[in-house]
Amino acid sequence: MRANKVFLKVYNRFWSHPKEIPWGVLGMIECIAPDEIKEGDLMEYVEGTAPQRVRDHVARCPACAAQAAALAQVDHTLRERLFRASCPTADVLLGYVTRTLPAGERRRVARHIEECPHCAAEVQELEQAGVASVPTLWQQVARAARALIEAIAVPPRPELVPALRGNSHHLRLFRAGDLDIALGSEVSGPGPVFRVRGRVMEQGIPSSRLAGHVVRLVQQDTVIARQQVDELGYFVFEEIPPGEYDLVLDYTDADIVIRHISLSPADPKGLQNP
């Protein structure tokens, strides 16, 4: 069955890329004993799994030997082009090892690694090379000589209740200087996983000046997900598993941090911050 599938693959390749086939080698030679060869035999010959009768036939038949050579060339081309075509790129595997991928993408890569020995081997090599030993988020902040400002929880103002898009529950408001950060969460899928919505404002007023700033969700010094603030101050994190996180806003020459945000299955309606 496998040989027939490969044969059909190569056959389709013939007609879609005829210039890659050495037709001159094939010429008009005819098989010396067509009854000795059936569909799939030549492909099995190319793969090295053909029975002795097929190998004997190809050894004495110029036509089948030429066809086998053409099949081998096309099969080689296909293997080169399709080998690991569905595998993550090297940059994505590096992001997996250093735990800098968004949560959803990290889970997809993890599932792929479980099924792909090639990617599993690459990940093992990266880990053995010490690539995973990257500076923690707070070490990176310190090395960049950036200020770290901790936002504090303040009572939400009535006019900010509709500040978040969607149906986020338990609106919380945090302040750092002139910046207000409104946060809310909701269950978005089984598990459960959460959607965390936020909006950044200056003195309670949306500002396009904040567009493009990066917001990160951090867990144990590992960036779990990152998003950019849009032109109206909004940002959304999707498919976030339960746990305790810090939220970090990259703001001009300082990092604004909201610590100990808890998403709990025991209270699926909302976001906690002791």
51 and 176, same domain (yes or no): no
154 and 262, same domain (yes or no): yes
64 and 110, same domain (yes or no): no
Domain annotation covers residue 133: no
183 forms beta bridges with 172, 198
Q: 82-104: string of b/e by CB count within 10 Å (b at 16+)?
A: eeeeebbeeebbbbbbeebbbbe
Domain annotation covers residue 173: yes
pLDDT recorded at residue 18: 40
List the structure tokens of 141.
């902040």
32 and 50, same domain (yes or no): yes
Q: How many domains does the chain have?
A: 3
Domain annotation covers residue 238: yes
Going by the DSSP 8-state scheme, the letter that residue 202 receives in this structure is: E
13 and 52, same domain (yes or no): yes
Q: 63-81: string of b/e by CB count within 10 Å (b at 16+)?
A: bbbbbbebbbbbbeeeeee
Between CA 271 and CA 193 the distance in angstroms is 12
Helix axes 117-128, 103-115, angle to 10 degrees: 110
99 and 212, same domain (yes or no): no
Domain annotation covers residue 252: yes
From first to last of its 274 residues, the chain has per-residue pLDDT tens of: 333 444 444 444 443 444 444 444 444 568 888 888 888 888 889 888 889 999 999 999 988 988 888 888 877 776 656 556 678 888 788 878 877 777 778 888 988 999 888 889 888 887 776 655 545 555 555 545 567 788 888 886 655 544 555 554 567 889 988 889 999 888 888 888 899 999 998 877 877 888 889 999 998 878 889 899 998 899 999 999 999 999 999 887 788 999 889 988 776 545 655 5
Q: Classify strands 254-263 and 147-150 as parallel, antiparallel or unpaired.
A: parallel
143 and 265, same domain (yes or no): yes
94 and 154, same domain (yes or no): no
Domain annotation covers residue 222: yes
Domain annotation covers residue 122: yes
73 and 102, same domain (yes or no): no
pLDDT tens for each residue of 250-271: 887 788 999 889 988 776 545 6
Range of the domain at 98: 90-128
Long-range interactions of 39-46: CB distance < 8 A, separation 24+: 39/4, 39/7, 40/3, 40/4, 40/7, 42/7, 42/67, 42/68, 42/71, 43/3, 43/4, 43/6, 43/7, 43/10, 43/71, 43/75, 44/3, 46/71, 46/72, 46/75
143 and 99, same domain (yes or no): no
165 and 248, same domain (yes or no): yes
pLDDT tens for each residue of 110-136: 889 998 888 898 888 877 766 555 455
Domain annotation covers residue 107: yes
245 and 178, same domain (yes or no): yes
